[in-house]
A and B are shown apart, each in its own frame.
Chain A
Amino acid sequence: MKVIEIRISQDLCKGCLLCVWACPYGVLEAGKERNYRGVEVPIVTKLEECRACRLCEYRCPDFAIQVITDKDVEKLREAEQMELRWQRRVELAEEVGVSE
């Protein structure tokens, strides 16, 4: 298994830094710059140290962080398809006015 990327969302992160605390290998670090929300979103500094134990994912309360290994790429694409189907449903409901 090879870790390709650790993706941290700027839109969802609330800056509690639990992921930085949870990582046993010091892969993540608190970012220096603040995002639009005014929080320090963590940055990935040592990707080669990551063993994909996913402790940072388990500790994140905001669904903001995802470790992507070569096995996850296909799974993630499927999930994105399901999300697209959901978004289409929401848009349809907004057009018809069901959500009101």
Chain B
Amino acid sequence: MRKLDFSHYLAKKYMRTDMLPHAFCPGCGIGIIQRAVLMAFEELGDEEWRKTVFVSGIGCSGWAPTYFRVDAIHALHGRALPLATGIKLAKPHLNVVVFMGDGDSMAIGGNHLIHAARRNIGITAIIVNNMIYSLTGGQLAPTTPMYSYTNTSPYGNIEPNFDLMELMKAAGATYLARWTTWHFVQLKNSLKKAIKHKGFSVVEVISQCPTYTGRYILRKPDPRDYMQWMKDNSILLDVAKGMDERELEGKIVVGEFLERNDRTEFSELYWSLIKKAEVKA
């Protein structure tokens, strides 16, 4: 086995160090999100880490949990949430954390996302949004901003993009937060809350992809310029409430969008139904 010379506390404690260095491009935001997840679990404690299962779909972000020293499933494209639903229903005491990209969650797996929110099942979905299909070479995604140029929209994109937070609020999710990778500490705190939360919780992370989003959409191929752009263009939710649509055009609204505890969690209903049926039989 190859021995790497490094000393990173979280990586040594939680990661499969024989698989490092990981496969992401220089400056990719997924490494930052991995670190935020590990740090959230470090603060939650060893007990929570031991009863956690990671599920991931296809895409660059699908590689993220395979580097962790936990049980992880690399599912079919868009089908990470059905697998996670199965795990949660069979073993309701487990924490199920799902890593998805924007293509995985909103394009091919969009229906699964809506219905998981409708059932309010206790899954934490971390959605890495880089505004483009990066793994396959920079095609148009449902999250690409309007009038931007990609490989498959050479005259500019004329489709409006998804607002995931509004969609999930309408579908019935019970914890919603959106941060960029620049807001590291806020992201970590939101992840902690989402993992502890009972019910379907979604944390959307606007992540940088210097290779494709940086080159085509923003024309900022340097990750430092990209992060500066995210810092300058993100507006907190409380500030954004007082602004009209024209002012918010091209901006990223960040913050904790929703936290409610009035809906019953799905696996509780499921197991109470099973107990009721067993008594009758």
> A interface vs B, CB < 8 Å?
7, 9-12, 14-18, 21, 39, 57-66, 68, 72, 75-76, 78-80, 82-83, 86-87, 90-91, 94
Contact = CB atoms under 8 A, between A and B. Distances in A.
Given A11-B5, A16-B223, A59 B16 contact: no
B9 A90 contact: no
B11 interface: yes
B17 A62 contact: no
B21 A62 contact: yes
Contacts of B11: 63
A14 B21 contact: yes
B32 A86 contact: no
Interface of B: 1, 4-13, 15-18, 20-22, 24-32, 35, 69, 184-185, 210, 223-224, 227-228
A39 B25 CA distance: 13
B8 A63 contact: yes
30 contacts: A7-B7, A9-B8, A10-B5, A11-B5, A11-B6, A12-B4, A14-B25, A14-B26, A16-B210, A21-B224, A58-B35, A58-B184, A58-B185, A59-B227, A61-B27, A61-B29, A61-B30, A61-B31, A62-B31, A63-B11, A63-B20, A75-B9, A76-B12, A78-B13, A79-B9, A80-B7, A80-B12, A82-B13, A86-B16, A91-B1
A62 B27 CA distance: 8
Q: Which 3 A-B pairs have the closest CB atoms?
A: A61-B31, A9-B6, A16-B27
A27 to B, nearest CB: 16
B31 A63 contact: yes
A80 to B, nearest CB: 6
A79 B8 CA distance: 9
Contacts of A10: 5
Contacts of B8: 9, 12, 63-66
Contacts of A58: 32, 35, 184-185
Given A11-B4, A87-B1, 11 more contacts: A9-B7, A16-B27, A21-B228, A63-B35, A66-B8, A76-B12, A79-B12, A83-B13, A86-B17, A87-B18, A91-B1
B223 A18 contact: yes
A10 B24 CA distance: 17
A94 B20 contact: no
B13 A66 contact: no
